[in-house]
């Protein structure tokens, strides 16, 4: 089982200089490889990783690019592997065409492989190629084989190291319950047991402060010292919102997989839903896709089964008692309704969650 472990690192000035050089060299190699592949394609040739790797070897031999030898050579090779993967994703229609990396980007990272034990954890330090022992905040034990490490810098200037660790397969037990979830914007979700989880709305709570600091930034001369200090202030607000959101999603997803054997959810087209400009910000803030992804990978640890109900299943319109379909409930403003056939009074979201659970269990039986 592969597990990603992220730790904050505190490089000294020399180590920070080497990290920044590696960021720059990886970007140059990636862009050079992309330019070569585009040029060869125009000439009617198709090349891959092997040809771009030969290009890197030739670049190192020239005086113009001799500074590429100063950084971790594996990191440069990995940037070309990332380029090759980006091309494969494009031709498989999983992503758009690769773009050139900007020198002015504030999201920087590079990846290096563990070769001969050059990546390890020792007490409060992480040993990394070319950097040596870097002071770190080790928040969890690293028990397993380290495959690779990704060094990244956030827009606020913090450094992190993400270790890809091969750990023994460990499985935990769950409480054996079954639940259906109907996600929303006002309430994060309503479950089939009529429990309601309120949406924390982290972005909305920080929106005024963010807008104030963003206005200050827009008045400053781009690239100046004051502009850079203000940019970091804005980045820290964004970072705090992201951390709050991720903390909430991790806690709730972990709680659900620990308590339930079966979790039924909707197969939502979130990418299509955010095209609605009136709801796009709210949908992005609630992060349904990330929440569902967390449920998926955490379910493997606890033996929880995630069942996705088809997106066009009218869970809100069907009476959970008699099965009558009420087309009037397509109107989202109707939050409560009474079934004209059996007279049962329904909360819109609670009824939808119960129907999602029923539909999910029926799909499981037929499968």
Active site residues: 182, 266, 349
Beta strands per DSSP E along the chain: 2-10, 108-113, 120-122, 125-128, 132-137, 145-153, 159-166, 177-183, 187-191, 196-198, 260-266, 305-309, 336-338, 345-347
306 secondary structure, DSSP code = E
| Centroid of chain to Cα 272 | 18
CA count, 13 A, side-chain hemisphere, 365? 6
CA nearest to 349, candidates 361, 333, 336? 336
With beta carbons less than 8 A apart as the criterion, state whether 111 and 149 touch.
yes
C-alpha span between 235 and 213 (Å, rounded): 10
String of DSSP letters for 101-126 = PPTT-S-EEEEEE--TT-SEEETTEE
φ, ψ at 158 (rounded to 5°) = -80, 150
State the Cα–Cα distance between residues 218 and 158, nearest whole angstrom.
23
Angle at 132 between CA 130 and CA 135, to 5 degrees: 130
- HSE-up (13 A, CA, CB side) for residue 267: 10
Extended beta strands in 291-351, E state: 305-309, 336-338, 345-347
In contact, 244 and 200? CB cutoff 8 Å: yes
Place of tokens 């060299």: 25
- How many other CB atoms are found less than 10 A from the CB of residue 26? 26
303: left (phi over 0), alpha (psi -120 to 50) or beta: left
């Amino acid at each position: 089982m592969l597990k990603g472990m992220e730790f904050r690192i505190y490089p000294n000035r020399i180590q920070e200089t080497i990290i920044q050089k590696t960021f720059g060299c990886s970007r140059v190699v990636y862009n050079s490889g992309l330019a070569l592949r585009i040029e060869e394609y125009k000439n009617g040739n198709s090349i891959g990783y092997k040809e771009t790797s030969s290009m890197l070897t030739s670049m190192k031999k020239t005086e113009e690019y001799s500074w590429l030898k100063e950084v971790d050579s594996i990191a440069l090779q990995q940037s070309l592997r990332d380029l090759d993967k980006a091309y494969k994703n494009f031709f498989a229609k999983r992503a758009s065409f690769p773009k050139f990396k900007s020198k002015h980007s504030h999201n920087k990272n590079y990846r290096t492989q563990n070769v001969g034990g050059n990546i390890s954890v020792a007490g409060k330090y992480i040993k990394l190629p070319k950097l040596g022992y870097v002071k770190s905040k080790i928040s969890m034990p690293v028990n397993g084989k380290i495959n690779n490490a990704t060094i990244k810098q956030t827009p606020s200037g913090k450094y992190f190291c993400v270790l890809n660790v091969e750990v023994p397969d460990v499985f935990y037990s769950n409480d054996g319950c079954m639940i259906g979830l109907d996600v929303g914007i006002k309430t994060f979700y309503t479950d089939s047991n009529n429990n309601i989880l309120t949406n924390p709305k982290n972005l909305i709570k920080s929106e005024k402060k963010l807008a104030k600091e963003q206005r200050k930034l827009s008045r400053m001369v781009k690239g100046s010292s004051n502009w850079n200090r203000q940019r970091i202030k804005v980045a820290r607000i964004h970072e705090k919102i992201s951390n709050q959101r991720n903390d909430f999603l991790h806690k709730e997803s972990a709680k659900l997989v620990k308590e339930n054997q079966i979790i039924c959810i909707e197969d939502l087209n979130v990418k299509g839903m955010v095209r609605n400009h009136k709801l796009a910000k709210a949908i992005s803030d609630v992060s349904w896709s990330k929440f569902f992804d967390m449920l998926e990978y955490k379910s493997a640890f606890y033996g929880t089964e995630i069942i996705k109900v088809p997106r066009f299943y009218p869970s809100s319109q069907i009476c959970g008692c008699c099965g009558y379909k009420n087309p009037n409930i397509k109107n989202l403003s109707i939050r409560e309704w009474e079934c004209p056939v059996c007279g049962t009074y329904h909360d819109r979201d609670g009824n939808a969650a119960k129907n999602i659970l029923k539909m999910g269990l029926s799909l499981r039986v037929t499968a």
